[in-house]
Structure 1
Amino acid sequence: MAFDSLPRRAADPAVMDLLGAELSGTDLTTLLLAVMRRRASERTPAEVLRRYREDRFTEPVRTPFHGLRRVEDALLSTLPGGVEMVTLPPVVPLGTHSAVATVDQNKVVTTIRGTEVAADPTNGLALEVARRRQALLRENSRSCTAVRLGAFQRVLRAQRFEGASAHFSLLGLVSGGRDTGDLAFERAHLTEHLAYLVDALRAAGAREIDVRMRVLDPRFAPLAAGLPYEAVEGSSGYYTGLTYKVYVDGGVEVADGGFVDWTRRLLGNNKERLLISGVGLDRVVSATG
């Protein structure tokens, strides 16, 4: 909700200053919990059912359960050795999507306990990569040990997608490590991610797979050799260096990825590198039957 669309009393600068600046995080949480507890106590079962019917955030997914399980199994069956699958929580710290991944805060569902509902597994995985890389760097400030993680997660996004549910299942895959020069890290992990995506989508039943790349930095052009790509100088605002999308039968976009600067900023270390990929399971189910 935009600031200028709030009720006048709630938009009063004094009220906003009190809630946003003067109250500590703990006091603000206590206040909001009290407000929500009062509101919940006033809800009748009939009102809860009405909200369940009308709230797009709470409606069940339309994708068949067995279709999602089939695609999950296919994606797991081709996972590269050494990639650790982790189980992420349904929430991440407040600001993860906007401060780290530069996503508008209005596109995520914020809670009143200083967290926000996960909107993409790669954001949570990036935090875990940063934590593990930080531990490695404490032991050896020049550690090149890569951290490779994956996770399935049902995510929720506040923006509306025509004909799509507000929540859907994603596979996130991340590789984080240290710059070793000559784009060696980038080349090795990009090759692994793209090979995996092709193999995994074939295992899931895709007949035609089309990988399209966008080169944001001319230095990355050699990494796109042999694949169709578009050269667009400058950051996308999300990805840096190089990004890609993967389409299957009939031109359905089912996956994307690229290099991001998240661990570089999380750790305050310009030598850190991170590659992320995401696969939309619901879209794969729809495209492959």
Structure 2
Amino acid sequence: MSTIINRILKQIGDPELLDKLLSLSKADLNSLLLGLFEKQTDKFTPADVLKTFQSNRFSTPSDASPAKFHALETQLLTAAKEMDIETVLLSPSAPLGSCSVFGCVDQYNVVSALRGTETLSDPSNMLAIIIADKLKSRTENNILPLHYATTARVVRAQAFSGRGFLANFGLFCLVSSGKDSGSYICEKELLTKHFLFYKELLREKYNAKLSIVMRKRGGYTDGDGFFASMTEVVQTMLPDTPLSLNYDNDDNKYYQGINFKIYMENEHEKMEIGDGGFVDWMNQMLGSKKERCLISGIGLDRLLMLG
């Protein structure tokens, strides 16, 4: 429990208050919190709202051109459809815990909300949840891999600094799901799909100078063999692109086997614009060790900066 929470409980005079609240049903807890926020906002004035806007980084608008931003979204989603990737228009809200429950991020880094929701902070998690729902309900199967993509404006609670780092920013995310068939065949197919998309987009449409970093991660019994197989896929697809291999810090709970970073460079600067790797989220949701899932994404605001 954080120092701040301990201080608040001590101030209230009830160190067991959190446990008491958590003993309520979800519906009752939600009703209680709604009542609390209603009473809080009853005291607000329009001037208070303006003052909050001026100091709250989560509601600050982006400096990006809306026309250019939405044109880029259209370009990416159209390119995805042309590669037989299913596109989805997500809700700005996600189920509460949609990131932290998978062990990916601390809930403190997500803007939690009421009615069992949180502000969307990672579209890749939501795409994975949507795919898992379709697989569980048997409206889809992934004997042949499924590929889903989306764009979204997201909000994250951790404090960022530096050029290209904002509390709210745009992402393009690609999530693929398949079944293990041995010899890393499924993983190779998923990774090929992702890099084919980024190759056509960034090199052929943007004529971008790219470089890639491949990082080894835990999660596979034959970690070295898996890393070598995935590295070979990338080298084959992008033989002229600088590729760095990083074997450090391979005990990572987010990615399984590999994590790749995509860097884009123009005459003025070099910037990380993409990130991806295999995750075990499908295994966790569906209870099957045969499930394979690859996620990746690129930052839209950053792509606009370098484009």
Same fold by TM-score greater than 0.5: yes
1:139 offset after TM fit, Å? 8.8
Partner of 1:116: 118
Contact 2:58 2:167 in 1 (8 A): yes
Distance in 1 between the 2:298 and 2:247 partners?
24
1:224 counterpart = 2:240:
no
- How far off is 1:112 after superposition? 2.1
> For 1:9, what is the secondary structure of its paired residue?
helix
Asked if 1 retains the 8 angstrom alpha-carbon contact of 2:216 and 2:250, the reply is no
**TM-aligned CA distance change 1:210 to 1:10, over 3 Å:** farther
> Structure 2: which 5+ runs fail to align?
218-222, 236-242
The question of 1:244 aligning with 2:260 is answered: yes
Q: Which residue of 2 aligns with 1:270?
A: 289
Residue 16 of structure 2: SS of its match in structure 1? helix
Other-structure match for 2:73: 72
Measured in 1, the distance between the counterparts of 2:64 and 2:13 equals: 40
Q: 1-side partners of 2:204 and 2:150: how far apart? A: 18
Count of matched residue pairs: 283
Secondary structure at the residue paired with 2:58? Answer: coil
In structure 1, distance between residues paired with 2:174 and 2:116: 26
How far apart are the structure 2 equivalents of 1:209 and 1:234? 24
**Partner residue of 1:191?**
192
Paired residue for 1:177? 178
**Structure 1 counterpart of 2:261, which letter?**
K
Q: Does the residue aligned with 1:149 lie in a helix, a strand or coil?
A: strand
The correspondence of residues 1-289 of structure 1 with structure 2, limited to 5 A, is 3-6=2-5, 7=8, 8-9=10-11, 12-20=14-22, 22-79=23-80, 80-136=82-138, 144-163=143-162, 164-202=165-203, 205=206, 207-216=208-217, 217-220=223-226, 221-225=228-232, 226=235, 227-232=243-248, 234-249=250-265, 250-288=269-307
Contact 1:101–1:123 (CA under 8 A) maintained in structure 2:
no
1:84/1:45 CA distance change after superposition, 3 Å: same
Higher mean alpha-carbon deviation, 57-66 vs 76-85, is at 76-85
Residue type of the partner of 1:3? Answer: S
Instruction: Give the unaligned 5+ runs of structure 1.
Output: none
Q: Could you tell me how far apart the structure 2 residues matched to 1:203 and 1:74 are?
A: 13
TM-score (norm 2): 0.86
| Separation of aligned partners in 1, 2:183 and 2:257 | 13
Inter-CA distance 5–246: structure 2 relative to 1 (3 Å threshold):
same
Q: Distance in 1 between matches of 2:136 and 2:129?
A: 10
Task: Name whichever of 257-266 and 109-118 sits farther off.
Answer: 109-118
Fraction of identical pairs, as percent: 35
Task: Please give the alpha-carbon distance, in whole angstroms, between the structure 2 residues aligned to 1:92 and 1:133.
Answer: 19
Contact 1:235 1:241 in 2 (8 A): no
Q: 1:84 to 1:272 in 2, by over 3 A?
A: same
C-alpha distance in structure 1 between counterparts of 2:249 and 2:53, whole Å: 46
Shift of 1:11: 8.1
**Counterparts of 1:282 and 1:267 in 2: how far apart (Å)?**
34
- After TM superposition, give the deviation of residue 272 of structure 1 in Å: 0.5
Contact between 1:170 and 1:278, CA under 8 Å: does it hold in 2? Answer: yes
